[in-house]
Structures are given as structure tokens and as C-alpha cells.
Amino acid sequence: MIDTVFTFGGDAPHSNARQKDKTVTGGKGANLAEMASIGLPVPPGFTIATEECLKYLREGGDFRTDLVSDIEEALRHVERTVGKGFGDANDPLLVSVRSGAAISMPGMMDTVLNLGLNDETVKGLAKVSGDERFAWDSYRRFIQMYADVVLGLDHGLFEEALEIAKEDNGFYADTEMSAEDWKRLVAEFKSIAEQELGEPFPQDPQAQLWGAIRAVFDSWDTERAKVYRRLNDIPHDMGTAVNVQAMVFGNMGDTSATGVAFTRDPSTGEKAYYGEWLVNAQGEDVVAGIRTPQYLTKARREAAGADKPSMEEAMPDAYGELARVFDLLERHYTDMQDIEFTVQQGKLWLLQTRNGKRTAKAALKMAVDMVGEGLIDEKTAICRVDPMALDQLLHPTLDPDAPRDVLTTGLPASPGAASGKIVLDADTAELWANRGEKVVLVRIETSPEDIHGMHAATGILTARGGMTSHAAVVARGMGRPCVSGASQVSISREDRTLTIGDRELKEGDVITIDGGNGQVIAGEVATIEPELAGDFGTLMEWADKHRRMAVRTNAETEADCKMARQFGAEGIGLCRTEHMFFDADRISAVRQMILADDETGRRAALDKLLPEQRKDFVAIFETMAGLPCTIRLLDPPLHEFLPHGDTEFEELAETTGVSIDKLRRRASELHEFNPMLGHRGCRLGITYPEIYEMQARAIFEAACEVAKTSGEAPVPEVMIPLVATRRELELLRALVDRVAREVFDASGTTLTYLVGTMIELPRAALMAGEIAEEAEFFSFGTNDLTQTTLGVSRDDAGRFLTEYVDKGIFARDPFVSLDVDGVGQLVELAAERGRKSRGDIKLGICGEHGGDPASIAFCEKTGLDYISASPYRVPIARLAAAQAALR
């Protein structure tokens, strides 16, 4: 039989490798054993392995028969080490019982302290400690915690009784309660428990212990634990360990204390001890906020202008010992530690250590500093920073100390925070922004014709739409904070008002959105600017050294290209040319083109667009200075460009000289029931080749112009969207090649360029071998590929996907993190077939997944040459690509 109960502290062996394996003994148990084995002062105890939890749950609450004797034996180790007896009325051993899974799940299960106390042992404790008040305080704490955690009674009942007791005595703090006061309260607590339970509060220490062990095991399967695991990607089949440990007391008078400490500052990363402590208290007092904790160090206390002494000042000896332990543990675990400690009558005890949670800023600073200190190497530093956390650093963020009046919460669609006046349409957004006002554009959902308003706005809020809805994709591309799918928001266009729950807001009222957590907040909240200096640059440099895949950006404006290059982009992976068609001075030519009856009419309109497109491409090629630029020819369904209201039809009739009736008729002819699967992508190029011809001409003319003026020859990669068959690509490639030849001949310049396609349809993935005969590169358009493989509309999925994720149907939103099992197979298969038919085919990804670390790891595994992400995601992609290569 393998060991499932492991002792630690005292003369325990600590030689069993399983004991230091977190999957067996949990994080807390493994680290307690580790600390004890390196000679640190850890109260003796034992850990019951996670296997026992799983077995207990599997077998409907039955313990293994031998477990009882194993635990009795382990308990004897604890008794021997401290020289006290469990349940001994003269000198009782008290224990704490705490859960501890392999991955910490804070809040899943509380702790039970002082277990072993009853009406008899409390007297023994009073006698040996010589402190009656301490003994009865410990007993009332035990009843309170056990009733809550193990017996499931409402803790409010006990808190209320304590409050009343204090009020009756005219006390403010718990510390003012005397032994007699606690005694009376214990009697009261017991009668509350008895009343609620219908039986007396358990007096037998053995029964108390087994009750607590059961409670810890059961806590693994509670609803809140399951939800927590789902949200944090923690598997359900790990189970929790139980740690039973001899109590040490921080509440034994003024030479005793308890506290929580970090070896470095978890919010700034500064190499300075950071923590809180309380004199004459037990652990939960620090966390529960019953008393305001004091600063650990003198420097902190002085900086905060606090007058209550720091531990450094009040208990210099114990503090000195603690500081020595900090350094030892940091060197041992080579990471910042989060430590719980207790001082009992001047002696320091360690109750827990673990790698501490930290902000993005702190994570960066610590990683870089620790390399400098020789504690870790560059590779470890790279892997230690969560790429997604970088997001916090790249955008202005809300001041965490500022108060927030949260109206509702939607999806965190694009990070960063923005405050501004509510505007309900794109034109108003532009108008108000032009007069210098900060505006937040609020729409039911956005469409391409809102681009100018989105650009003008500091932030975007939509009532509908998921993480890859138009608003979300465009906002991320522009670096605009966005909250999408805030379903409680309803908009009245007539009244120009907004209702959120029972709150009504008018256009012009100020709101703040937090794209980092989806909050919509009333009024303005102060923000703090991002800081990209120093440590950020250093870590990025290391990441670049260790990654294999190139990182490009999805960008179509000069400003975005510049920003992306600042963030380290090595080219453009996707330039969506349709976004350029929505500019106020172009849209009427675009509409004229769409509504024309025949090719001649379309060409006349395209002639007007050509110089504009060329200008765009010149700016892009100049900014990208010789880096490869993938430019995608027109993709969206044409009706997206159609005029909408009466005014737009009237304006168009005026500029084109065509009657409103005719324009309306033509517009209704173009209407599609399912435009995402309709006349879009290369189907436009096949039916209206003159559109692609104009775009190809604009690309090559711009490239030749920039080659002549700048000396750095652009590398255009012309990309054909939504291809399903080889023949489509064959026809369109011939068109692009012909235009290129014509332009090169006319300008006397010849440039290297590529023609390739997006893989966005299952058929394209399946037929990749054949398609590769015509394609010099593939770029995986995983937004559409996800939509078409799952048969889930990317614009409407927000309404039900959250529930799908909650119910575990999808581990994560497949539009955010690639469905590796399903869609991933198509990517792998297309990559393999593409390479087989064209050995040097270039492979990249330009769907939103190109900025998601888990999807990036998949791209590395599949051997893609590059990933492409929106400008603000470029640093995330660089770091994630390095981590993927290193792991």
C-alpha cells in the first residue's frame, strides 16, 4: 500500500519523494514538508494525500479502513513532538485543519483552528498556559469556525452574538473582552449551535477531527469550488489534501502575534519586505479585517505615516529571524514567497509559504531583477511572466484606488479604460470629438460604417456581440478600450437615452468603461498612464532571442502600423483594405461602385478610389520600411457599404445623379439573408474582377513609388480571402500577376511579391494541397474558420457562448482561444498538405487567435512561420511565442 499520510516536523523523515509532490500532498502540504526538511520552524503535523479525497468522494463518503489507523499513528507523532495529548484534559494538543490542493484555490474552503477544545480541555489549556482569557478566546474561536466550516451554520448568528456582547459591555475591540466575557459567550455560542443543530456541539476531539477532514474533502465538490476551477482552468480530478498541524498561538498576549508577508512588494515588485501583522491575534483576524493590521517594516510604517509600531520595531528579534527566513525561502524556491507566520511568546513559527501572486508590473520587475541577482536565468524569467498580464501595462488603466459606481458588466472585449460622454451614433461621436470632447460610443452593436465614430471615441460600449464581434475586433485593432455584449444596456434612439437596470442616463452624461474586466461605471474614474520603459524592454529583448516564430500585426492605418512597430511587429500579417473604404470622403465613391449597373459604371467609381487606396498603401509601405506586408483584397459583403437612412440615399442621389428609387431598388437587389456566407471574399473578385484589379494596381503602384523614393523595397504579399477552391485562386492570381506586370513595365521597377490565400473555410483546409499549387503562402483566418467549422456566427455567439463555457461544453470561448481539438485539426491538416505540395510555403495566422497565448502555443507546435496580432497584442504575442518555443 502506498503512503497517503505523511508526517512533518520534529523527527519526521521527509524522505519520501511523494511528500514533496504537490499533486500528492497539495501546495501547502508539500511546502510544509519542504520547509521542515530544510530546518525551518514548522509546527509538526501531517498531510492526508489528495488520493484519499478522490477515493472518499468516489465511494460516497467512506474512508479507507486503514486510513483511520494511519491517521491515529500520525497524530501520535504530533503528540510526541509537542509533548501533549489530543483530548488530554490536563495538557491538550490542539490542531488546525486546512485544505490544500495542488493549485491554490483561495476561498474554496476555510480553515478550522483550535480543534481539540471542549468543556474539559479548555480548562487544561487555561491551566498550562496560565492564561484563562487566552484559553476561552481560543474556544470561542473554535466553535465559531467549526460551526461555519464543518457544521454549515450561518456565521452571522455568531458574529451578531459577539457584537451584542461587546456592545453590552461598551467595548470597541475584541481585545477588551475578559476571560469571563469569553466564557459567557462560549455558553451562548454552544446554545446557538445546539438550537440550530438540534443536538449539542460536538465535544469529542476525535469526532471533531473526522468532521473537519470530511468537510475538507466535501469542499472539493461544492458548486463554488467547481466554478472556481472552471474559471481558472483547473482540472476537476485533482482532489484536495488535508493538513492537520499542531496549533501555535498568536493570541497568547503581547509577545505573541500573527501575520502575512511577501518577500518582495507584490504590487510594485520592489525588493523590499512587505506585509501585515497583528499583536495578540490569530490568523483570521488579519484577513477578516476585524482589526486594522500594522505594517511589517519600519520603512513602510513611516512612509504611510502610521503610528502603531511595525513588527521590526516592536519585536526586533522575531522580525530578524523572519527576515532571515525570507531570504532563505526565496533562494530555495527562486521566487517571491507569500508567507504566513505566527509568533508564540517570542518564538517564530512558519505556517505556510507559496509563490506569491503579483501584478503584471511586479512580475516584470521581479523577473528582471532576479536574473540580475543570479537567482534565475533568462529562460525562467521569460516563462514566469503571464503574457496576458502585459495587457495591464500597455494601456492606461483605472486607478485601482479610485471609487467605482459600477452600472453593469459586459465582456472585456478590448483592454484599457476610457471615460467620456455617452454618444449614441458614430456621426455624433465624430462631431463631439472634433470639438475636443472625450466620448464613449454606445451602440446596440457596431458595423463597419461606425468606424469613424469608433475612431473618434475614447471607448466603445455595445449591448450585443461577443469577443470577436465587429466592435471587439475593430476596437482591439485600434487600441480602443471596449466592453461588448453588455446585455443590460438598452438604448432609446428617440429619447437619446440609455437604460441600465433601473438607472437612466442621457446622451452627454459621462461614463467610464473598463475593457480589462468589462465594467461599465457611472461618471469619470481617474486613470494611470502605461509605463513601457526599462524592465518591459529587457524582458521583450530576451523573449525575441528565444522565439522561433515571427510576430506581425493586423493593421491598416499609418498610426496603427507605427504603434505596432513600436511594440516590435516584424511586418503586417493582415491589412483589411475594406476599413479604408469607410472614410467620409470615399464612402460615396464606394457606394457608387456597388450600385452601378454594369462594369463601366463600376470602373468609373473605382477610378476615383484608386488614388486614395494608393495613398494608403504608400503610407503603410513607408512606415513598414521593407518589412513584409500582407494586404488582403476586399472581403466583406457589399451590402455593408450600402446607404442606410433616407439622408444617406438622398446624398448619394445628389452626388451620382441617379434617382433615389433606382438606388433603393439596386440596394434591395443586393440584400442577402446570410451575408457572412454570401457574396463576399474572393467571390467579389470573381464576379467583379475590376475591384480586385484596382486594388492590386494600387498596391503595386504604391510599392514601386516607395521603392524609388525610400530605397527600401516593400515586400507586398497579396492575399485573397475566403477561397474554397484551387480554381478561384488560379483565376485571381492570374489577375494579380497581370496587373503586377503592367505596373512594373510602366514604372520600370520590378519587385518581389507573393500571392497567397487565407484558409478560412473547412473546404480550403481539406483541399490545401491543391490550393497550395496556386498559393505562395497561407494565412489562417481562424475567425471565419472557427465560425464555419462550428457553424456558430461570430457576431451572434455572445448570446449563448458564456453559458456554453459555464456548462463546460467549451473550455474557453472558441473565438478567443482556438478550439485546438476541432478547428486545430483543420489547421494542422492544411499546414501538412500545403507543405507537402509546396515545400517552402509560408504559413501564418491572422485570426484573433494570433494574440492568444494558448493558441500561440498551438501555432508553435504546428510549425507556423509567423503569428499576427493587433498592435497592442504584439508584445503579448512576442512573449507567448518565446514561452511556446522554450516549453
Shorter beta-carbon distance to Mg ion: residue 477 or 781: 781
Shorter beta-carbon distance to Mg ion: residue 706 or 845: 845
Measured between alpha carbons, how far is 144 from 193 in angstroms, rounded to an integer? 9
Shorter beta-carbon distance to Mg ion: residue 500 or 775: 775
Taking CB within 5 to 8 Å according to partner kind, which of ligand PEP, Mg ion, none is near residue 141?
Answer: none
Measured between alpha carbons, how far is 484 from 814 in angstroms, rounded to an integer? 16
- Among positions 585-644, residues that touch ligand PEP (CB under 6 A) are 635
Pairing mode of beta strands 257-262, 274-279: antiparallel
Measured between alpha carbons, how far is 457 from 442 in angstroms, rounded to an integer? 10
With contacts defined by CB under 5 A, name the span among 234-242, 529-537, 655-663, 778-786 that binds Mg ion.
778-786
Shorter beta-carbon distance to ligand PEP: residue 623 or 782: 782
With contacts defined by CB under 5 A, name the span among 196-204, 314-322, 438-446, 781-789 that binds Mg ion.
781-789
Pairing mode of beta strands 489-492, 459-462: unpaired
Shorter beta-carbon distance to ligand PEP: residue 118 or 870: 870
**498, 501, 521: which is closest to 511 by C-alpha?**
521
* Shortest Cβ 851–ligand PEP spacing (Å): 11
* Shortest Cβ 823–Mg ion spacing (Å): 13
Rounding to the nearest 10 degrees, give the CA dihedral for residues 611, 614, 615, 620: 170
In the complex, which residue's CB is closest to Mg ion? 784
Number of residues that bind Mg ion (CB under 5 A): 3
* Long-range contacts of 489-494, Cβ-Cβ distance < 8 Å, separation of 24 or more: 489/408, 489/410, 489/442, 489/461, 489/463, 489/520, 490/463, 491/424, 491/442, 491/443, 491/444, 491/463, 493/424, 493/425
* Shortest Cβ 784–ligand PEP spacing (Å): 3
Residue 470 is a catalytic residue: yes
Shorter beta-carbon distance to Mg ion: residue 294 or 757: 757
Shorter beta-carbon distance to Mg ion: residue 190 or 470: 470
Shorter beta-carbon distance to ligand PEP: residue 31 or 779: 779
Which residues are paired to 98 by β-bridges? Answer: 243
* Shortest Cβ 755–ligand PEP spacing (Å): 18
Question: Which residues in 730-752 are b (16+ Cβ under 10 Å) and which e?
Answer: ebbbebbeebbeebbeebeeebe
Shorter beta-carbon distance to ligand PEP: residue 378 or 819: 819
- Among positions 480-509, residues that touch ligand PEP (CB under 6 A) are none
- Among positions 818-847, residues that touch ligand PEP (CB under 6 A) are 846-847
Q: Is residue 258 within 8 Å of residue 281, measured between CB atoms? A: yes
Shorter beta-carbon distance to ligand PEP: residue 174 or 784: 784
Among 416, 459, 781, 851, binds Mg ion (CB under 5 A): 781
Number of residues that bind ligand PEP (CB under 6 A): 10
- Among positions 383-442, residues that touch ligand PEP (CB under 6 A) are none
Sign, CA dihedral 420-421-422-426, equals negative
DSSP character for 570?
Answer: -
* Shortest Cβ 209–ligand PEP spacing (Å): 57
- What string of DSSP letters covers 80-126? HHHT-EET-SSSEE-EEEEEEESS--TTSS--EEEET--TTHHHHHH
Nearest 5°: CA angle at 50, between 47 and 56?
110
* Shortest Cβ 467–Mg ion spacing (Å): 15
CA-based R_g, the chain, Å: 33
* Shortest Cβ 573–ligand PEP spacing (Å): 9
Among 110, 218, 774, 784, binds Mg ion (CB under 5 A): 784
Measured between alpha carbons, how far is 532 from 555 in angstroms, rounded to an integer? 21
- Among positions 733-792, residues that touch ligand PEP (CB under 6 A) are 760, 781-784
Taking CB within 5 to 8 Å according to partner kind, which of ligand PEP, Mg ion, none is near residue 552?
Answer: none
Shorter beta-carbon distance to ligand PEP: residue 309 or 762: 762
Which amino acid does the sequence have at 267? S
With a CB cutoff of 8 Å and minimum separation 6, the contacts of 248 are 43, 342, 344, 349, 351
Helix (H) / strand (E) element for 197: namely helix 179-197
**Per-residue mark of binding to Mg ion, 729-768 (x: CB under 5 A):** -------------------------------x--------
- Among positions 158-217, residues that touch Mg ion (CB under 5 A) are none
Shorter beta-carbon distance to Mg ion: residue 781 or 871: 781
* Shortest Cβ 844–ligand PEP spacing (Å): 11
Measured between alpha carbons, how far is 182 from 178 in angstroms, rounded to an integer? 6
CA 854 to chain centre: 12
* Three-class secondary structure of residue 43 per DSSP: coil
- Among positions 123-152, residues that touch Mg ion (CB under 5 A) are none
Say which of 561, 704, 846, 859 is annotated catalytic.
846
* Shortest Cβ 576–Mg ion spacing (Å): 9
CA 257 to chain centre: 36
Grid cell at residue 728: 478561384
**330, 212, 240: which is closest to 29 by C-alpha?**
240
* Shortest Cβ 577–ligand PEP spacing (Å): 10
Residue 859 is a catalytic residue: no
**Per-residue mark of binding to ligand PEP, 56-95 (x: CB under 6 A):** ----------------------------------------
Residue 687 CB burial class (10 angstroms; 0-12, 13-18, ≥19): exposed
Q: Is residue 410 within 8 Å of residue 520, measured between CB atoms? A: yes
Taking CB within 5 to 8 Å according to partner kind, which of ligand PEP, Mg ion, none is near residue 883?
Answer: none
Taking CB within 5 to 8 Å according to partner kind, which of Mg ion, ligand PEP, none is near residue 576?
Answer: ligand PEP
With contacts defined by CB under 5 A, name the span among 178-186, 552-560, 659-667, 780-788 that binds Mg ion.
780-788
* Shortest Cβ 248–ligand PEP spacing (Å): 58
Helix (H) / strand (E) element for 25: namely helix 22-37
Pairing mode of beta strands 572-576, 628-632: parallel
Measured between alpha carbons, how far is 473 from 411 in angstroms, rounded to an integer? 13
Grid cell at residue 245: 498541524
- Among positions 531-590, residues that touch ligand PEP (CB under 6 A) are 574, 576
* Shortest Cβ 482–ligand PEP spacing (Å): 15
Grid cell 505594517 is found at 295
* Shortest Cβ 250–ligand PEP spacing (Å): 57
* Three-class secondary structure of residue 405 per DSSP: strand
Say which of 14, 455, 470, 579 is annotated catalytic.
470
Shorter beta-carbon distance to ligand PEP: residue 419 or 630: 630
Measured between alpha carbons, how far is 253 from 343 in angstroms, rounded to an integer? 10
Which residues are paired to 278 by β-bridges? Answer: 258
- Among positions 845-864, residues that touch ligand PEP (CB under 6 A) are 846-847
Taking CB within 5 to 8 Å according to partner kind, which of ligand PEP, Mg ion, none is near residue 846?
Answer: ligand PEP
Q: Which residues are catalytic?
A: 470, 846
> Where on the chain is the footprint of Mg ion (CB under 5 A)?
760, 781, 784
> Where on the chain is the footprint of ligand PEP (CB under 6 A)?
574, 576, 635, 760, 781-784, 846-847
